[in-house]
Amino acid sequence: MPRTITFSPELLDSHCIVDARTPLEFAEDHLPGAINVPILTNAERVEIGTLYKQQGPQVARVRGLELTCHRFPAIVASITEAAVGRPILVYCWRGGLRSESIALLLEMTGTPVVKLAGGYKTFRQLVSSFFKSVSLPVQLVVLHGMTGSGKTEFLNQLPASDWTVIDLEGLARHRGSAFGSLGLGEQPPQKRFETLLWDAFRRAPLDRPIVVEGESKRIGQVTLPGNLYEVMADSTKIWCEVSVATRVKRLAAEYARQDYQQPMAEAIERIKKKLGGQHYDELMHKLEAWDVEGLAQGLIEQYYDKLYYRVRKWEPEGTISLEDYATAVRELAAICTA
């Protein structure tokens, strides 16, 4: 019988992780780095579940064998090819029959394999527990500033030898504004976002600060999990200053793609009430004329600066200027080591 082991984060770096669940379950969330080798399709899982409830486990298992036995050689081949010599760890929803079946198949062919105790459910509990009461062993630095300041671009230029950057907007695939989804594709499900975020924190070295961008509790359709938002509010807060002229140029450069024109029109439509009729008409006219800098200026003046940070109820631990990123790196280091 395949050996069962309990989860530890080190397994993610040492094993070929195989998710035996359906593609739908895998898409909602999975262990970091896992490959999906489903023993049942989405429809087959529904069928087997129905049989289990209506006619009992024996009928369901016989039907499961009928549906899957012809796929056994391909399942073994795809896993061993992906493993390339690494030890194999298989899991399903609760560490039950699906992972047991694949593990038995691998063992029968002479391939060493272990099964994850408790399956995905146990891993999910670990992630939820981490965010329920976030406690970080290193300094957390949070960058705040007006839309168009260049905070994300600045974050991604910080030297990895001195800072750990966790791009919340990149993980969420959303910039947290009315135009936040432009060019970033579909947002991940909430559970997937939390796993990606947990993995980013667990990979952070212990000899340098973690830097993130200040966000609202919600980033598009996903939410900062647990008490992370409160922890960020209590961390080292940095205010990023930059001129309106620079913000206009940076925002315009971000939006200056012709394929963004229709999604931008839809986004402006969604904020029409907040803009008011006159400002809405002005922005739509600029968009139709493809005056991207004029559009960026109008959004900054009539929307972003009126909506965000209208009343800042906290004082930053320091201020840096993002007019020049190289200078800003030195200013950030000086504040964080003072």
Q: Does 92 qualify as catalytic in the annotation? A: yes
- Give the integer Cα–Cα distance in Å for 40 and 24: 11
What is the sign, positive or negative, of the torsion defined by CA atoms of 272, 276, 280, 283? negative
The angle that helices 97-108 and 72-83 make with each other, rounded to 10 degrees, is 80
* Listed residue (90, 97, 96) closest to 116, CA to CA: 90
Whether the Cβ atoms of residue 107 and residue 113 lie closer than 8 Å to each other: yes
- 244: CB partners within 8 A, 6+ apart: 297, 300
Whether the Cβ atoms of residue 119 and residue 30 lie closer than 8 Å to each other: no
* Listed residue (204, 287, 215, 303) closest to 252, CA to CA: 287
**DSSP secondary structure letters along 226-283:** TTHHHHHHTSEEEEEE--HHHHHHHHHHHH--GGGHHHHHHHHHHTHHHH-HHHHHHH
- Give the integer Cα–Cα distance in Å for 169 and 64: 42
- Give the integer Cα–Cα distance in Å for 18 and 115: 10
- 186: CB partners within 8 A, 6+ apart: 173
* Listed residue (142, 139, 148, 155) closest to 325, CA to CA: 155
Whether the Cβ atoms of residue 199 and residue 37 lie closer than 8 Å to each other: no
Question: Which of the residues 16, 69, 92, 336 is marked catalytic?
Answer: 92
Which residue type does 240 have? Answer: C
- What is the set of active-site residues? 92
